[in-house]
Amino acid sequence: MSRSSTALLVLSLVAPACSTAGATRTTTTVVTRAATVADTTRVAGTVVAGEWFQGAPVRSRVLVGADGETYVGLWIDAPTVEANGHRLPLDVALVVDTSGSMSGAKIESARMAAASFIDNLAQGDIVSLYAFSGDVRELSPPVVVDDATRAVLLDRVRHLYAAGGTNLWGGLHAGQAATASAPASHPVRRVVVISDGRANVGPSTAAEFGDLAAGSTENGTQITAIGVGLDYDEETLGALAVRSAGRLYHLEQPEQMAAILQGELQMLSRTVATNAVIEFVPAEGVVIEATEELRLDRVGDRVRIPVGSLYSAQRREVLLRARVRGAAEGNRMLGRAQLVYQSPGADAARVHSREVPLAVEFVSDEARSSASAHERVQAMVSRFEAAQSQMRAAQLINEGQAARAEAELQRAEERLRAAASVSFSDERVQGQLLRQAAGISTGRAAARRAVAAPSAAATRGASLQNRSSAMDSYGY
């Protein structure tokens, strides 16, 4: 259930040759600000030198005759915020599945987790609460947290009960409607949805839910999707996370819910930027294609990759794959990228990073090409390819081929550990490789159990675990 702080998103570059009404809101004075001043970032009274946003090709020199294919990495290193007791106000909608399958330990854990979450909200935060089964119940419209409203919310959480179908669409729509009316004083906005099943009331496809989730980003809302047990729809919950630049958790044990919600609250409380998006302007003749693990919007002559809110000391990474067919020796511009985000505060100022030019030189000398490798981007490529192996393994397990999946995972783990065995100037890069390798090792063990003692539960658990680990590597 662990989540790393690094997001790995993927897209391809191909270049041709040449129903809920909101309650009355009150505003709260914002006490934390983030702003870029020249080449220095100041956050919550702390000065952090350097640029947030950087990028480089995996090799600055690309070998001619290799189909002109290369990778380009972009990364965000968010500044560290000193713990000074202040944070941005939150607007959070809790959306809880109370269908019949949530009865027993699941609904009890959901009550405890929601109560703990509400207990730890700050005075002045805004929270709403919804339960969905065959229909949607508004347990609380958006209210400002104080002693009185907190007591009412906790009492309503204690009365959550499980019965009926699964109207996930209605529950999610209600949560989105609540955060849509968030005042400017509450720039950190989240819908947290907890579900153990598959939507069987209203729209039910992953594509439909993905489109609904994408709409929430218009006001800066992201979705945290928590799948409980073995029966939830990982494709749908994954679409919610990807299309809203949010997060996905797989919990086999319902008692893990409280820790997950507490971790989410701590993360949200350290927000240093909101509504962040990477804008990429391709060079002339360059066409951009997205993979299914990426939210990519086309606006005029550029593409936009939403990355949502950024948190203290967070690392976010985007890997680009570029192909220039028939390229001759010489320099080639691929495009320019820039990070745009809102500086948290009442004025919600938009901040633009410096532009990052993405260019390579095509050469005929393989040794020169190999020597030009960029260690961080090379590690990003290794992690991306390993995540692809994890996704393939999850599918193989679903198809009853757990032995083949275990072999696929073994190869991926070996490649990651080999990549981590070299010396890195930044030890955090090596740490990312080793953490992913450890996650793959856990997935291998689950696949082996599914081979040794095949059962529906063992197979399903192994598949979900490997898919969840891959989504973690992608950053969701």
User: Is residue 346 predicted with pLDDT exceeding 70?
Assistant: no
Phi and psi dihedrals of 166, rounded to 5?
-130, 90
Tens of pLDDT, residues 141-187: 999 999 999 999 999 999 999 999 999 999 999 999 999 999 988 99
| Structure-block tokens of residue 128 | 């709403």
pLDDT of amino acid 26: 29
Phi and psi dihedrals of 135, rounded to 5?
-130, -170
* Percent of the chain at pLDDT exceeding 70: 86
Q: Looking up tokens 């949560």, which residue turns up?
A: 175
User: Is residue 289 predicted with pLDDT exceeding 70?
Assistant: no
| Angle of CA points 449, 248, 107, to nearest 5° | 80
- Is-contact 15 284, C-beta < 8 A? no
- Is-contact 384 318, C-beta < 8 A? no
CA distance 412 to 405: 11
Kind and range of the H or E element at 225?
Answer: strand 221-228
CB count within 10 Å of CB 454 equals: 11
User: Is residue 119 predicted with pLDDT exceeding 50?
Assistant: yes
pLDDT of amino acid 372: 95
Phi and psi dihedrals of 340, rounded to 5?
-125, 135
Sheet holding 247-251, edge to edge: 136-144, 126-132, 90-97, 188-195, 221-228, 247-251
CA distance 359 to 363: 13
Task: Give me the mean pLDDT over the 1-7 stretch.
Answer: 47
| CB neighbour burial string for 395-433, b if at least 16 within 10 angstroms, e if fewer | ebbbeebbebbbebbbebbebbbebbeeebeeeebbebb
| pLDDT band, residue 292 (cuts 50/70/90) | low
| Structure-block tokens of residue 451 | 């081979």
Kind and range of the H or E element at 193?
Answer: strand 188-195
**438 or 287: which carries more pLDDT confidence?**
438
| Structure-block tokens of residue 298 | 């086309």
pLDDT of amino acid 28: 27
pLDDT of amino acid 15: 36
pLDDT of amino acid 47: 27
pLDDT of amino acid 24: 31
| Structure-block tokens of residue 470 | 């891959």
- Is-contact 386 436, C-beta < 8 A? yes
Which of 209, 234, 195 lies closest to 391, judged by CA? 234
CA distance 93 to 200: 22
CA distance 298 to 304: 6
CA distance 110 to 108: 5
At the second CATH level, the architecture of 90-268 is 3-Layer(aba) Sandwich (3.40)
| Structure-block tokens of residue 146 | 């104080």
| pLDDT band, residue 308 (cuts 50/70/90) | very high
Q: Looking up tokens 């906790």, which residue turns up?
A: 154
Q: What mean pLDDT value characterizes the chain?
A: 85
Which of 3, 9, 15, 4 lies closest to 73, judged by CA? 9
- Is-contact 441 393, C-beta < 8 A? no
Which amino acid is present at 291?
T
pLDDT of amino acid 91: 97
Which amino acid is present at 350?
R
Question: Using CA of residue 396, residue 420, residue 74, residue 274, what is the dihedral sign?
Answer: positive
Tens of pLDDT, residues 413-468: 999 999 999 989 999 999 999 999 999 999 999 999 999 999 999 999 999 999 99
pLDDT of amino acid 438: 97
Q: Collapse the DSSP code of 347 into the 3-class scheme (helix H, G, I; strand E, B; otherwise coil) and give the result.
A: coil
CA distance 25 to 22: 8
pLDDT of amino acid 83: 60
Residue 54 exposure: Cα atoms within 13 Å on the Cβ side: 11
Tens of pLDDT, residues 250-264: 998 999 999 999 999
Size of the chain, expressed as the number of residues it contains: 476
CA distance 154 to 410: 47
pLDDT of amino acid 49: 28
**27 or 162: which carries more pLDDT confidence?**
162
Q: What is the CA radius of gyration of the chain?
A: 23
pLDDT of amino acid 345: 64
Tens of pLDDT, residues 211-249: 999 998 888 999 999 999 999 999 999 999 999 999 999
Task: Give me the mean pLDDT over the 321-350 stretch.
Answer: 81
Q: For 275, left (φ over 0), alpha (ψ -120 to 50), or beta?
A: left
Task: Give me the mean pLDDT over the 130-136 stretch.
Answer: 96
CA distance 447 to 203: 33
| pLDDT band, residue 46 (cuts 50/70/90) | very low
Which amino acid is present at 271?
T
